[in-house]
Amino acid sequence: MIQRDTPVSNFELRIPTPEGFDFAHCLDYLGRSSEECLYEIHEQTVRKLLVINDRSVLLQVGSQGGRLLKAVVLHGGPLTAAEQQTVEAYIRNWFDLERDLGPFYILAEEDVMLNGIAKSFYGLRMVGIPDLFEALCWAVLGQQINLSFAYALKKNITYAYGNPLDWNGRRYYSFPSAKQLLATSPEELGAMKVSRAKSAALLEIAQRMESGELSRDQLIRLGDYDQMGEHLQRIKGIGPWTSHYVRMRCLGDPGAFPIGDAGLRNAVKLAAGLEEKPSEAFLQQLFEPWKGWEAYVTFYLWRTLY
């Protein structure tokens, strides 16, 4: 077990943020559950343990002056120039910093239901899961169960197979790699209350990623989000909801539409003042004017639930 008693700031990165970016809203989203095990909110910053070139790197990200994100490596440096680029790319993907949200806000301003929601959370970005394996596993674990149970399953797997780091009296974890998860078995996952079907899906995803058959870069190179989704859905256990969720949270698709999501239906019911949860047909019609921005509309609607 790696131990360190005093902070070492051997690398700082300052990343300009887009007009209107609000880190506080993103931090509120990240802090939505006390059960989260893969990062920690600390004094208006977020700490995240990454594995870069088989080395644990503890990263702290916060806002500086409202127009910059400041990232500090607390443990695991010094970083090479290539590793610094990896960290910057991760942060840019994490907070969707390359996206121009101007068209989304114009669309929301002209919509009766979205107008107030967009104003309330103005500056919130799609908080992503840049690591494809983590994103796929999280999506599979969350299938057809409540969020609290999904967090419990993720915590069980992370604590059993992930990478721990003890630093300044706190323990941080990164999600296990595909290779680490392949060291387990369906029986071990079942003992952690992961269903047989989900265990099979997790291990198949791990096998494909470890073999190089599946990667984020490979999917991005396809250049078409529908093709990315079709590629993912060839994996048993990944259906439309899971693929759209991963397209939304990991692959940068602003038009991803997890139409079967229970949280989305609850949010629309509340926002639209419906007596019952909306049907898929209702959602299809409701989202028609928001084509191309379904993921952001979904994300903002989710935000109204907590």
pLDDT for residue 103: 96
Question: For position 30, which CATH number holds?
Answer: 3.30.310.20
Domain count, the chain: 3
Q: How confident is the model at residue 1 (pLDDT cuts 50, 70, 90)?
A: very low
* pLDDT averaged over every residue in the chain: 94
Does the pLDDT at position 2 exceed 80?
no
Out of 87, 120, 153, a domain closes at 120
Q: Using an 8 Å Cβ cutoff, are 61 and 69 in contact?
A: yes
Query: Are 232 and 282 within one domain?
Result: no
CA trace torsion 268, 271, 272, 274 (10° rounding): 70
Query: Are 235 and 149 within one domain?
Result: yes
Query: Are 140 and 240 within one domain?
Result: yes
Query: Are 102 and 137 within one domain?
Result: no
- Using alpha carbons, select from 302, 116, 64, 259 the residue that is nearest to residue 72: 64
pLDDT for residue 10: 59
Question: For position 209, which CATH number holds?
Answer: 1.10.340.30
SS3 category, 172? strand
Query: Are 55 and 162 within one domain?
Result: no
Does the pLDDT at position 8 exceed 70?
no
Cis peptide before 289 (omega within 30 of 0): no
Query: Are 192 and 275 within one domain?
Result: no
Task: Spell out the residues 6+ positions from residue 241 whose beta carbon is closer than 8 angstroms to its own.
Answer: 143, 258, 259, 260, 261
What range defines the domain where residue 67 resides? 3-120
Distance CA 298, CA 265 (A): 10
Q: What share of the chain is helix, strand, coil (3-state, %, to 5)?
A: 50, 15, 35
Interval 39-56 mean pLDDT: 96
Interval 27-49 mean pLDDT: 96
DSSP state of 69: E
Q: Is 15 part of any domain?
A: yes
For the question of residue 261 being annotated catalytic, the response is: yes
DSSP state of 289: G
Out of 120, 145, 174, a domain closes at 120
Query: Are 193 and 267 within one domain?
Result: no
Percent of the chain scoring above 90 in pLDDT: 93
Q: Is 255 part of any domain?
A: no
Query: Are 93 and 165 within one domain?
Result: no
Query: Are 198 and 116 within one domain?
Result: no
pLDDT for residue 98: 96
Q: Which of 96, 131, 253, 261 is catalytic?
A: 261
